[in-house]
């Protein structure tokens, strides 16, 4: 961290470090005029010194400032002082969801409630045409009373170049030490397949990411773990989630919900985060119910279709042939 305690950025005084990542360094600071604590995110030098990108970031910050919702951490301003460009953000106390998951998976009830609150926050942003694009446990705060706040809305877009030219190895929050064994890459591990291919994204990319986060909460493990960016992206594009890792008490409707969030073909994915929220609310109220018709029977049928092998198909064909023979025998007997 480059700023020492007591360092002044205009009316803000640095109190201590909060974290560092590809998007810059984050500090706890005091707003000396309003006498409140805030979070200061100092932008990377490469972006802060590029006037065009900084102006683009400022325009994006103004849009994000319209997101006034209790589930979304607020952006207070975009400023410059002492040759530093920085964001002024709401200071949210409490551990991140990533911190909570260090000790392993969470109870199913807690997982569903956290996912429901994240879906609520995403819905507010999507209604205003804002896509998060970097949803992951490290960008979700879980406060003592169980309330959730989603951080860094839209900042990935603000820091990225045009979609077609995004360098995945320089994505805003990817861990810089790509080769360290056991490292779970931030942005890469939660990218939708279309993001991984460098294609334009829409709100369905956030729906995918929510599915990845919910799976991780339920299992306690990252779905697309990789030691390098290419490993994570390869898994996203070519591997299927290990559904057997889900705890046995996971409601059947939630299992199917995850499948519909995590289908690689976004045309077959949930189209609206509001539908995901409705399903989560229904699962919380009654694990056997489904407002959108994702019944346990459908889940069972879906699972069978996913797991059919040549042997399974042969069994079905054999059963059908047996039924035909029985029908013929009965007919002949009369």
What is the predicted pLDDT for the residue at 25? 87
Architecture of domain 8-90 in this structure: 2-Layer Sandwich (3.30)
Going along the chain, which residue ranges are E strands?
Answer: 8-9, 12-21, 24-31, 36-42, 75-81, 84-90, 140-142, 148-150
What is the predicted pLDDT for the residue at 231? 76
What is the predicted pLDDT for the residue at 289? 62
CATH classification (class only), 97-294: mainly alpha
Catalytic residues, by residue number, are 134
Torsion 56-160-23-265 (CA) sign: positive
What is the predicted pLDDT for the residue at 235? 76
What is the predicted pLDDT for the residue at 283? 92
Bridge partners (DSSP) listed for residue 88:
40, 77
- Say whether 188 sits in a helix, a strand or coil: helix
Token look-up 């994702």 returns: 294
What is the predicted pLDDT for the residue at 254? 93
What is the predicted pLDDT for the residue at 76? 92
Identify the CA nearest to 73 among candidates 144, 11, 143.
143
CA distances from 97 to 114, 139, 297 (A): 9, 8, 33
What is the predicted pLDDT for the residue at 23? 66
How much is the pTM? Answer: 0.78
Question: Any idea what DSSP says for residue 72?
Answer: B
Q: Which long-range contacts (CB under 8 A, 24 or more apart) does 325-330 make?
A: none
CB 264 within 8 A of CB 224: no
pLDDT along the chain (334 residues), means of 10: 90 92 83 95 77 75 85 91 90 92 94 97 92 91 91 68 42 38 52 86 94 96 76 80 92 93 93 95 81 54 47 44 45 47
């Amino acid at each position: 961290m480059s700023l020492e305690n007591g360092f002044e950025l205009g009316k803000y005084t640095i109190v201590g470090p909060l974290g560092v990542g590809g998007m810059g360094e984050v500090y706890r600071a005091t707003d000396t005029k309003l006498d409140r604590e805030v979070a200061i995110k100092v932008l990377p030098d490469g972006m802060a010194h590029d006037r065009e990108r900084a102006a683009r970031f400022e325009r994006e910050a103004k849009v994000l400032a319209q997101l006034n919702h209790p589930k979304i951490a607020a952006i207070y301003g975009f400023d410059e002082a002492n040759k530093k460009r920085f964001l002024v953000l709401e200071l949210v106390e409490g551990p991140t969801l990533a911190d909570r998951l260090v000790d392993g998976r969470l109870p199913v009830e807690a997982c569903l409630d956290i996912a429901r609150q994240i879906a609520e926050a995403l819905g507010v942003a999507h209604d205003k045409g804002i896509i998060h694009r970097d949803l992951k446990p490290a960008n979700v705060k879980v406060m003592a009373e169980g309330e959730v706040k989603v951080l860094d809305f839209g900042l990935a877009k603000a820091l990225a170049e045009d979609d077609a030219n995004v360098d995945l190895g320089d994505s805003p929050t990817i861990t810089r030490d790509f080769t360290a064994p056991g490292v779970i890459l931030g942005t890469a591990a939660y990218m939708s397949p279309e993001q991984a291919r460098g294609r334009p994204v829409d709100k369905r990319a956030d729906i995918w990411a929510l599915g990845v986060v919910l799976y991780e909460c339920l299992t306690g493990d990252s779905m697309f773990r990789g030691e390098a960016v290419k490993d994570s992206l390869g898994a996203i594009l070519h591997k299927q989630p290990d559904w057997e890792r889900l705890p046995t008490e996971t409601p059947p409707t939630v299992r199917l919900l995850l499948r519909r969030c995590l289908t690689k073909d976004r045309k077959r994915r949930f189209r609206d985060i509001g539908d995901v929220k409705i399903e989560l609310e229904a699962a919380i109220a009654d694990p056997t119910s489904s407002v959108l018709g994702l019944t346990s029977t459908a889940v069972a049928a879906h699972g069978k279709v996913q797991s059919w092998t040549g042997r399974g198909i042969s069994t079905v064909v054999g059963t059908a042939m047996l039924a035909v023979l029985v029908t013929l025998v009965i007919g002949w007997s009369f």
